[in-house]
A and B are shown apart, each in its own frame.
Chain A
Amino acid sequence: MDVTASLTEPVTGHPDGPEPPPDAGAYLDHAATTPMTSAALAAFVEHARHTGNASSLHSAGRAARRTAEEAREIVAGALGARPSEIIFTASGTEADNLAIKGMFWGRRAEDRRRTRILVSAVEHHAVLDPAFWLAGHAGAQVVLLPVDTEGRLDLDALRAELAAHHAETALVSVMWANNEVGTVQPIHDVVRIARHHGIPVHVDAVQAVGQLPVDFTASGADAMTVSGHKLGGPAGVGALLARRDLPLDAVLHGGGQERGVRSGTLDVPAIASFAVAVRDAVARRESHAARVAALRDSLVAHVRDVVPDAMLCGPDPRTDPGGRLPGNAHFAFPGAEGDSLLYLLDSAGIQASTGSACQAGVPQPSHVLLAMGVPETAARGALRFSLGATSTPADVERLAAALPQVVERARAAGLVGGGHA
């Protein structure tokens, strides 16, 4: 988190714990990435000291393999899965790609008619983009399932689509909770409807694990994505949980690791650290969620208080407390540009996000907000505030103190610059 840290400067010491967020600022972007826990960092450092390829048969290899398999058991235990269902990947994005492409190819190999991919309109780009890539390169048809104004999937649209086209449907993919507006999806209903037609379901649970109760087997899903750095583990590691009977083709071919669907030498330190983080995040989930939800409610109240015309996007926690992720708040500030808001907040020591993808650094109006019916002009001025383990009431107060002037100034700038005010 030290913004001045440079690889070209000498390392002055060994870290023995996670760096806190910059003490001069309020870090409100935990949904982008959240600090590693001490235990996860310790596990990473410890296992990085050891040599050993988990695929080797000698003693060093066996030691590495033992660590990786223990990690697999820990992740499986924490998430209600069997160890053999855990496929370690190098990121949540990789796990999503493996799920969408691997399930599409596997299901279509069983029956050539299965070309339809059903995804919610508010999925992460790691799901949407592989689906549209398959449309462009492999004859897939992508069906974007609509959401309501709070970002919740329209189950009737799913029912109608499957009633009409179940024989041609390869898979359904719906996220457990949305990364931008935090909306929790009715996953159990999605699974029940799809199961009725025999269609496998992939669930992107990257934002959910550690904040919501997530049990893979109980969910009935056929595949589920998890990522390390959203829950206190390192970036560069994730997993796809996949039932053994799920048709799943490989994306990465090579040495045949991970059931042959994800070749590549296992990154044992990252996997060990990831497992520790998943275990601890799940164990602490209830108290953590209650704490960040209270902070989030305070943040929402403060923002509404100081900027009365700010639009809360997603379910209102006052009326629907279980409707969104406990650590997520998301507002649109009509008349302000997202990049102006980000700059002004950053100048005030507050780190937030527009929550949506950039194209060459240019914030784009969020497809999630547009799918929810938010006007494009309002969507351009959207900000996500996401809370995590290190968040404090002081962070919220700092935001509340800075926000009125930030929004006022960003609105003034929106009137003169950019040509799309």
Chain B
Amino acid sequence: MKVLAAMSGGVDSAVAAALAVEAGHDVVGVHMALSRNRDQFRNGSRGCCSIEDAGDARRAADVLGIPYYVWDLSETFEETVVADFLSEYEAGRTPNPCVRCNEHIKFEALLDKATALGFDAVATGHYARIETREVTADTRGRVPGPAGAHAPDGPGASPALLVRELHRSPNTAKDQSYVLAVMGPERLARAMFPLGGFASKDEVRAEAAKRGLSVSAKPDSYDICFVADGDTRGFLRDRLGSRPGAVVDTDGEVVGEHDGAYAFTVGQRKGLGLGRPAGDGRARYVVDVQTSTNTVVVGPAELLSVNRIAGEKAIWFDGVLATTPGGSSSADSAVPTDAGGWFDAEVQVRAHGTPVPARVRALPASAGPVPAGTSSAATPSDAPRSAASPSDVPRSDALRSDDSPSGTPPSAAAPSAAAAAPGGAMEIELTGEPLRGVAAGQSIVAYRGTRVLGQATVAAAWRA
């Protein structure tokens, strides 16, 4: 196969490219230039986009004996990832730029250009596995949905199908299936993750050293690549401007002031700048960020916990729903559901968060869940956003209080083939402990074991 290896300059993508070469593929290395002004990007060990990183990628490609190109995707990156990052924060939501980068850059701009140029696949250094499963139409009894609406015609009526599944990496600390889920089945079909079988980063480093790749000891990158110094709040202030406003408690009493509501995260405890403690002496957290009035609402921790989540822009992998738009899945191989279309899964709301048990179902976009109310709560998240990986610490959030309050969960609707269409909804009921730190704008990923079933963007979360 003709394979384009996306090479960031780090050890993971270098080893992924090496493994693709050794598997016999015709490999070309491509480094993506994502900023015109590369001084804005971090350099050395901390980022993924500096000139030094481009040089490291080129050196690795030379050692592997493969052609190497730099593709300028900076305009697309600015127009999608950075613009989304700013507009989401500005709207009081919590974006994950790594998810958006996978969605719009690596598995859209890069993948589509590669496909147009004649490449069969794009290989990256992500930690996730792709499994291909052959399914046959011989299990009539496992038809999902009410009344077996999508029953196959009978045993042997459908030809054998190959279903590509996205799975967690065995390296649980590095697993990136959460940020990859957004790519969906069509793009998964053109992706390769050569590091999928590696159980530890040390093994990857050893493979790099064995091949004489000088990046073998390069430190891992963290943080947001386009935030030059790790100061997310400063970046937002530079790009969005200072917008002073009030910090109020849940009774509406002004207890402090801020420099821009967009810079606050629901669940945030530190950096509130409140001069005096609450009357009852309890810790206060951000429980709501009202960008329409530029107001930050603070309150006690118990307001921050949810067990219902409504996801929008849902994506489902092949073999999950009874019918997919491409028709590449058949009912027999789908995940079994109950009469209401619910199936059991685990859901995860941040890159390295703990999956929690839930009931999940797909809904068509038109039957999208109704956002529910102010009683929402998310758990406290002590860490300020800028202190950790963006994929690790999304803004814990609850519903915007200006969304229509409604104590009732979304109306039930029977699943249908339309549920799999882009823009459908994902409805989630947590069946165990409530979740902490669920913010509008975050990605929510449904798993069954190691297998990724689908992904959606959190539209609303509440306590029912």
Contacts and interface: CB of A to CB of B under 8 A. Distances in A.
Contact of B76 (A3, A4, A412, A418): A418
Interface in B52-80: 54, 58, 65, 67, 69-73, 75-76, 79
A361 B58 contact: yes
Interface of B: 28, 31, 33, 38, 51, 54, 58, 65, 67, 69-73, 75-76, 79, 109-110, 112-113, 115-118
A152 to B, nearest CB: 30
A346 B67 contact: yes
A237 to B, nearest CB: 25
A361 B113 contact: no
Q: Which 9 pairs across A and B sit closest by C-beta, in order of nearness?
A: A417-B113, A361-B70, A419-B76, A413-B116, A416-B112, A419-B75, A362-B72, A412-B116, A362-B33
Given A415-B116, A416-B116, A419-B109, A343 B67 contact: yes
A360 interface: yes
Contacts of A343: 28, 67, 69, 117
Contacts of B75: 418-420
Contacts of A95: none
B118 A417 contact: no
Interface in A1-46: 3-4
A346 B58 CA distance: 17
Interface in A335-376: 339-340, 342-344, 346-347, 358, 360-363
Range for the number of chain A residues in contact with chain B? 20 to 34
A361 B38 CA distance: 12
Contacts of B112: 416-417
A343 B29 CA distance: 11
A342 B71 CA distance: 12
29 contacts: A3-B65, A4-B65, A339-B70, A339-B71, A340-B113, A347-B28, A358-B70, A360-B51, A361-B31, A361-B54, A362-B71, A362-B72, A409-B117, A409-B118, A413-B117, A415-B116, A416-B109, A416-B116, A417-B71, A417-B76, A417-B112, A417-B113, A417-B116, A418-B75, A418-B76, A418-B113, A419-B75, A419-B79, A420-B75
Nearest to B78: A419
Contacts of A361: 31, 33, 54, 58, 69-70
Given A360-B33, A360-B38, A417 B69 contact: no
Nearest to B112: A416
A409 B116 CA distance: 6
A36 B120 CA distance: 39
B110 A417 contact: yes
A342 B117 CA distance: 11
Contacts of A416: 109, 112-113, 115-116
Contacts of B58: 361
Contacts of B73: 417-419
Contacts of B116: 409, 412-413, 415-417
Nearest to B70: A361
A418 B71 CA distance: 8
- Most chain-B Cβ atoms within 10 A of its Cβ — which of A342, A409, A412, A415? A412
